[in-house]
């Protein structure tokens, strides 16, 4: 026994003497408590073997202590194998326990096996095999791990922990389990202090009332708020929101999107496209601007409605759509424009308000206001009203120089199979109509006044005129009716404004909109620096979502960043 003790002190003294002789060399592993000592040259040549007595074997190396039941110390190689109830303590905050540890003192790398648990303040990492790089203060695993902190439980196949930043970088089958939601991702950075997550691959967040998908984004896991800026989609309150940049906040029940937006009403099958939109869940409303258009289906034909601003409010069966300023509508055989459009889902009523004009085929209709009524059950067009100063005009389709005209106080029209078939003009009605024979030779110009007029249409062209109650007029030869008498009072031709395609609903300003540049695409922000600044100023939003420049970063991804506060970036 005395011989073992003398050898032990000889080894220890030799080690300390060598370590003190040249402080510039790699520091050796220190023996603090060696307990029982032996050697086994056949199995462990050159190694010193220590086993516990009433206390565990203890070693120290550059600020870290290790305890174990059995230690095999390769002094010349400056490495150690620790077996049984291994515990490594670094400072006051980092502790690792496991069944085994191989430690290389030259590179300060510990490889831990069997039920590894690493704790750092309020975070716990569990895995079967863990490499702890003490030189760079990183720990990483490649065969599944579980991280638990005060807010979340996170799992992944591959993970790396940056101790100084208190940051995890997870790869492959990343999963966050929270009582309020579940997050799945292919690649995710997570900060244990702020609880912020940055997603860099296909990712899905499923909450109680929402579902978010993106391939690059940010999420504050404490308050369920964040954004996506690559292939983002949010399923939210019977609506699907898609766009280049989409922001979501659960507490305020608010979502917004910027650039190339599509908002789909999953109940009514309507779609809104724009370059900026907001969704307010509590108000059940959508606000959209910047080339905004609403698209709905009317008997297998798309109806487009546009305005500088679109607003949709109300529950699914009571939706109200408003298009403000430069409002326009278009479907294959009908188009119109006015200052504003008001559509009510419950009644099927569409109102064109202020200086409205409606084209049905070649026929132009104007009045103080225009109402179009749809059958709410069949969703087919039902009837038309032009109220006050109703006026119908069409270019003479044969002569191409004159205009067929009919006017009255009000106009009432009837649709059959979504085609305008009958129009009744009432009160103080007047007509100017170019009449032709079967050989398309002009017979004369009919100019008549009466109490009411019925016009029937076929293929959106006038088929027949019926004068009701005391008509007074005549058919004039073209030479006997002066040019100034060929237009009714109040005649205005707006044919050059007619919308011929769905793209005509947009004017020059709409087509020349410059899309907002999502901040950070050109100059990515250092996320680690942002997180550090956030920890100093917790009230400030995080700007970036670019991953730290480390080994786990995907170099093929483009650099992008975004604001959590307003994903529309510099403009609203």
Convert the pLDDT of each residue in 410-421 to its tens digit. 999 998 887 888
The answer to whether 48 touches 35, Cβ cutoff 8 Å, is: no
According to the model, what pLDDT value does residue 51 have? 92
Res 478 pLDDT > 80: yes
Estimate to the nearest angstrom the gap between the alpha carbon of 496 and the chain centroid. Answer: 39
- 535 or 289: which leads in pLDDT: 289
* Rounded distance between C-alpha atoms, residue 203 and residue 174, angstroms: 9
Res 530 pLDDT > 60: yes
Estimate to the nearest angstrom the gap between the alpha carbon of 127 and the chain centroid. Answer: 34
| 3-state DSSP of 111-145 | EEEEEEEEEECCEEEEEEEEEEECCCCEEEECCCE
Most confident of 5-19, 34-48, 69-83, 444-458: 69-83
According to the model, what pLDDT value does residue 299 have? 63
Over pLDDT 70: what percentage of the chain? Answer: 86
* Rounded distance between C-alpha atoms, residue 86 and residue 93, angstroms: 17
Q: Could you tell me which of 124, 114, 122 has the C-alpha nearest to residue 68?
A: 114
According to the model, what pLDDT value does residue 540 have? 43
According to the model, what pLDDT value does residue 521 have? 41
Cα distance from N-terminal residue to C-terminal residue, the chain: 82
Strand partners, 61: 64
* Rounded distance between C-alpha atoms, residue 547 and residue 169, angstroms: 9
According to the model, what pLDDT value does residue 233 have? 93
Res 544 pLDDT > 80: no
According to the model, what pLDDT value does residue 525 have? 54
Segment 149-194, tens digit of pLDDT: 988 999 999 999 999 889 999 999 999 999 999 999 999 999 998 9
What number is the average pLDDT over the span 499-522?
A: 81
According to the model, what pLDDT value does residue 19 have? 40
Q: Could you tell me which of 241, 237, 205, 243 has the C-alpha nearest to residue 224?
A: 205
Cβ neighbours, 10 Å, residue 503: 11
Segment 265-317, tens digit of pLDDT: 888 788 999 999 999 988 888 999 999 999 987 667 788 999 999 999 888 77
According to the model, what pLDDT value does residue 519 have? 62
The answer to whether 424 touches 450, Cβ cutoff 8 Å, is: no
Confidence band of 536 (pLDDT split at 50, 70, 90): low
* Rounded distance between C-alpha atoms, residue 16 and residue 18, angstroms: 5
Segment 108-140, tens digit of pLDDT: 999 999 999 999 888 999 999 999 999 999 999
Which domains are present in the chain?
Answer: 291-508 (2.60.450.10)
Q: Could you tell me which of 383, 382, 434, 385 has the C-alpha nearest to residue 408?
A: 385
């Amino acid at each position: 026994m005395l011989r073992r003790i003398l050898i032990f002190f000889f080894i220890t003294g030799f080690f300390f003497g060598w370590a003190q002789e040249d402080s510039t060399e790699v520091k050796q592993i220190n023996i603090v408590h060696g307990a029982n000592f032996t050697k086994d040259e056949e199995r462990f040549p050159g190694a010193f073997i220590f086993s516990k007595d009433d206390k565990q074997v203890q070693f120290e190396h550059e600020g870290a202590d290790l305890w174990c039941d059995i230690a095999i110390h390769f002094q010349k190689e400056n490495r150690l194998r620790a077996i049984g109830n291994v515990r490594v303590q670094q400072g006051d905050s980092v502790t690792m326990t496991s069944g085994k540890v191989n430690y290389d003192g030259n590179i300060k790398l510990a490889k831990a096996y069997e039920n590894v648990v690493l704790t750092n303040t309020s975070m716990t990492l569990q895995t079967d095999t863990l490499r702890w790089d003490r030189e760079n203060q990183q720990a990483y695993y490649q065969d599944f791990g579980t991280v638990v902190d005060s807010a979340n439980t996170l799992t992944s196949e591959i993970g790396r922990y940056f101790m100084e930043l208190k940051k995890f970088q997870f790869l492959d089958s990343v999963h966050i389990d929270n009582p309020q939601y579940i997050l799945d991702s292919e690649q995710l950075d997570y900060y244990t202090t702020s609880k912020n997550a940055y997603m860099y691959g296909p990712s899905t967040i499923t909450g109680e009332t929402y579902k978010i998908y993106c391939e690059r984004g940010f999420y504050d896991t404490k308050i369920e708020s964040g954004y996506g800026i690559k292939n983002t989609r949010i399923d939210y309150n019977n609506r699907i929101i898609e766009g280049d940049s989409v922001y979501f906040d659960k507490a305020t029940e608010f979502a917004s999107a910027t650039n190339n937006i599509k908002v789909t009403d999953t109940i009514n099958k309507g779609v809104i496209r724009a370059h900026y939109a907001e969704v307010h869940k509590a108000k059940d409303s959508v606000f959209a601007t910047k080339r905004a258009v609403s698209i709905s289906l009317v008997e297998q034909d798309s109806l487009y409605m546009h305005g500088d601003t679109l607003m949709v409010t109300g529950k699914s069966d009571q939706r109200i759509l408003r298009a403000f300023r430069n409002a326009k509508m278009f479907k294959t055989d009908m188009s119109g424009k006015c200052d504003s459009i008001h559509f009510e889902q419950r009644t099927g009523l569409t109102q064109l308000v202020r200086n409205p004009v409606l084209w049905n085929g070649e026929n132009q209709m104007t009045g103080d206001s225009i109402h179009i009524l749809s059958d709410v059950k069949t969703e087919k067009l039902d009837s038309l009203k032009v109220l006050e100063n109703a006026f119908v005009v069409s270019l003479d389709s044969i002569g191409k120089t004159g205009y067929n005209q009919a006017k009255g106080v009000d106009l009432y029209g009837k649709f059959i199979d979504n085609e305008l078939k009958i129009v009744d003009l009432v009160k103080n009605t007047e007509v100017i109509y170019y009449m032709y024979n079967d050989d398309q030779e002009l017979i004369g110009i009919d100019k008549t006044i009466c109490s009411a007029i019925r016009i029937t249409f076929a293929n959106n062209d006038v088929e027949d005129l019926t004068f009701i109650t005391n008509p007074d007029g005549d058919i004039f030869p073209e030479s006997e009716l002066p040019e100034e008498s060929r237009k009714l009072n109040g005649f205005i031709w707006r044919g050059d404004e007619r919308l011929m395609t769905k793209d005509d609903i947009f004017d020059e300003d709409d087509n020349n909109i410059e899309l907002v540049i999502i901040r950070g695409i050109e100059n990515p922000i250092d996320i680690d620096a942002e997180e550090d600044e956030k920890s100093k100023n917790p009230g400030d939003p995080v700007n970036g979502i670019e991953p730290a420049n480390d080994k786990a970063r995907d170099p093929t991804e483009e650099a992008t960043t975004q604001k959590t506060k307003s994903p529309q970036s510099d403009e609203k």
